[in-house]
Amino acid sequence: MKLKLVKGANEEILRTRCAEVLDFDSDLEKLVESMKKIMVKSRGVGIAAPQVDINARIFIFTKNVDREDVGNQIVEAINPVVLSASTDTILGEEGCLSLPGVYGNVRRPLECMVSYFNAKGEKITENLRGFDARVFLHELDHLNGVLFIDKLEDQIAM
Ligand SMILES: [Zn+2]
């Protein structure tokens, strides 16, 4: 499956609330694999379906980016939800494959309990901390038509 990155803050697909995934079939597995490939090729740590012009609640995120003691893990999240989030927050720099050259600081919960399905339809519930939580929440925003620039506390560069 050949995917193309959608870029620009005003693209309609990036401003749309995406639909739940209903069918966990081989097409979904193929899409997930293609999304992982384009994310790695684009040197991103996360990518959401609307960023490849697909209206579906799917994203890919990389775990353990900020930990050198364990390897990175590239994971798909389908129909993801946040079950709870810490009141402790942290300001951190973000960028986005759909907004090249734009970086800025966004405040996010330090920790959150999340659940999602993998491409096989298995439900995963886990606690994410730090950068893992940040990537997850950034990608989840994409599924609701929200970009990180909507939440900037200060813009570093444009
Ligand atoms: Zn993004």
User: pLDDT tens digits for 113-152?
Assistant: 999 999 999 999 999 999 999 999 999 999 999 999 999 9
Q: What's the gap in Å between 104 CA and the centre of ligand 1?
A: 12
Q: What's the gap in Å between 97 CA and the centre of ligand 1?
A: 6
For the segment 38-56, what is each residue's pLDDT rounded down to a tens digit?
999 999 999 999 999 999 9
Q: What's the gap in Å between 45 CA and the centre of ligand 1?
A: 9
Whether 158 shows a pLDDT value over 60: the answer reads no
Q: What's the gap in Å between 68 CA and the centre of ligand 1?
A: 23
10-35: average pLDDT:
97
The fraction of the chain above a pLDDT of 90, given in percent, is: 89
CA 158 to chain centre: 21
Protein residues placing their CB within 5 Å of the ion ligand 1: 96
The fraction of the chain above a pLDDT of 70, given in percent, is: 97
Task: Answer yes or no: are the C-beta atoms of 13 and 21 closer than 8 Å.
Answer: no
Q: What's the gap in Å between 51 CA and the centre of ligand 1?
A: 8
Q: Which long-range contacts link 148-152 to residues 24+ away (Cβ below 8 Å)? A: 148/94, 148/95, 148/96, 148/99, 148/104, 148/106, 149/9, 149/96, 149/99, 149/102, 149/104, 151/106, 151/107, 152/104, 152/105, 152/106
Q: Hey, is 86 helix, strand or coil?
A: coil
The catalytic residue among 76, 94, 111, 139 is 139
Asked about 20 being catalytic, the answer comes back as: no
**Domains (range + CATH), the chain:** 12-157 (3.90.45.10)
Whether 86 shows a pLDDT value over 70: the answer reads yes
